[in-house]
Amino acid sequence: MANLLRRLTLIALVCALTYFSSEPKWITERSFGRLDDGRDVRIFTLKNTQGTELEIMDLGATIVSLKTADANGNLADITTGFDNPRQYQAGAGYMGALVGRYANRIANGSFSLDGQEYSLAVNNGDNAIHGGIVGFDKKIWETSYDSNQSESTLSLTLISPDGEEGYPGTVSARVTYILNDQNQLVIDYSATTDAATVINLTQHAYFNLNGQGAGSILDHKIMINADQYTPVDSESIPTGEIASVTGTPLDFRSAKLIGRDIDDDHEQMQFGSGFDHNFIINNSGADEIAMAASVFSPTTGRTLTVYTDQPGMQFYTGNFLNGSLVGKQGAVYQRRNAFCLETQHYPDSPNKPNFPSTVLRPGEEYKTRTVFEFGVRN
């Protein structure tokens, strides 16, 4: 009897070891290459049971690739990017980057807070954009990760010291990427500060649902859940007006081809050389998740739906890509070869008191969520 019990125990142990060793690894880590100063950049691959594969590097908390299935089950990478970290560090349109401290533009690189004037690093003509010259996208973030049978989670943290790029306060920022089996990429952002500051974080992925490097995105159909937008001037700075999309090329409340009105002679289209505008998301209440946009590729059947608790979303159609960037697998990124859906507070909010506030004070927590949901339809 004792021998039988020992044999049964041994068999059970072997079965358990075999089970756990054969479990798929939903998160893996490897080196992505070194920067010019010798620092090693790590890349993390997250997978789910739908076959979706997401790669994120610690430089800039950047999405490097995102492979999803088309209507025929074929996987392809649907985000633009590069084959080594040095290209990202050199500055390449913020492709896939976590943008901060302040996503989008701040007019004249300055704002006033509590009676104090702050001058920022300017990197977009006379204006500041996407956090400055060395923003969050140029930093190596600290990482931790975990996975279970239903989701994989990668968390990245960064400390931004007081005065960095001209912004006040030491900010502790965190972004968490969750890839789940509902084929959703959930992005949770949070931040705290030790002094009053402004903050506005976003994910700057460039998408092409036909596959990165597959050419124009003008054949994609998009619906944007917005009755209003914030008009801009010739430098893409909001005028402060809240305007209706009715009767303009910016009315996407019913799905239409991206290319249908992109070259319209409307003044706003001329200012942005296409779509590069902040849409005010229709939301039933503050801090509630709402559907912001839905995109469909008739060529591949892929769909992308965006949900967010943010009040705005920048829809950008790659108008300033010009073929000078050579990306993954030798892809040449030409004008309008990708689009961005950047959930956010409004551009230049620190200088527009009628816009929702982006001020963060000690004792408060900046906390927001965006969800990218992937699917297919015929």
Domain range annotation of the chain = 27-376
Angle among Cα 54, 58, 60 to the nearest 5 degrees reads 95
List pLDDT tens digits, range 273-320. 999 999 999 985 667 899 999 999 999 999 999 999 999 999 999 999
Dihedral sign computed on CA atoms, order 281, 283, 287, 292: negative
- Percentages (nearest 5) of helix, strand, coil residues in the chain: 10, 40, 45
Query: For residue 8, what pLDDT is reported?
Result: 44
List pLDDT tens digits, range 129-147. 999 999 999 999 999 999 8
pTM: 0.93
Q: Is the Cβ–Cβ distance between 219 and 284 less than 8 Å?
A: no
Please name which of 121, 133, 125 lies closest in space to residue 235, comparing C-alpha atoms: 125
Residue 279 contacts by C-beta under 8 Å, 6 or more apart in sequence? 224, 226, 228, 229, 245, 250, 252, 292, 312, 313, 314, 315
Query: For residue 14, what pLDDT is reported?
Result: 40
Low-confidence ranges of the chain (pLDDT < 70): 1-24, 284-286
Query: For residue 145, what pLDDT is reported?
Result: 94
Q: Is the Cβ–Cβ distance between 237 and 202 less than 8 Å?
A: no
Query: For residue 17, what pLDDT is reported?
Result: 39
The answer as to CATH 3.40.50.880 being correct for domain 27-376 is no
Q: Is the Cβ–Cβ distance between 65 and 77 less than 8 Å?
A: yes
Residue 206 contacts by C-beta under 8 Å, 6 or more apart in sequence? 79, 80, 93, 95, 96, 318, 338, 339, 340
CA dist., res. 270 & res. 88, Å (int): 29
CA dist., res. 11 & res. 4, Å (int): 11
Query: For residue 4, what pLDDT is reported?
Result: 45
CA dist., res. 162 & res. 70, Å (int): 46
Please name which of 58, 29, 195 lies closest in space to residue 139, comparing C-alpha atoms: 58
342 is catalytic: yes
Query: For residue 148, what pLDDT is reported?
Result: 85
Query: For residue 7, what pLDDT is reported?
Result: 54
Please name which of 26, 98, 102, 34 lies closest in space to residue 64, comparing C-alpha atoms: 98
Query: For residue 377, what pLDDT is reported?
Result: 95
Which position among 204, 220, 277, 345 bears the catalytic label? 204
Which position among 55, 130, 342, 345 bears the catalytic label? 342
Residue 136 contacts by C-beta under 8 Å, 6 or more apart in sequence? 60, 61, 97, 98, 99, 100, 101, 158, 160, 173, 201
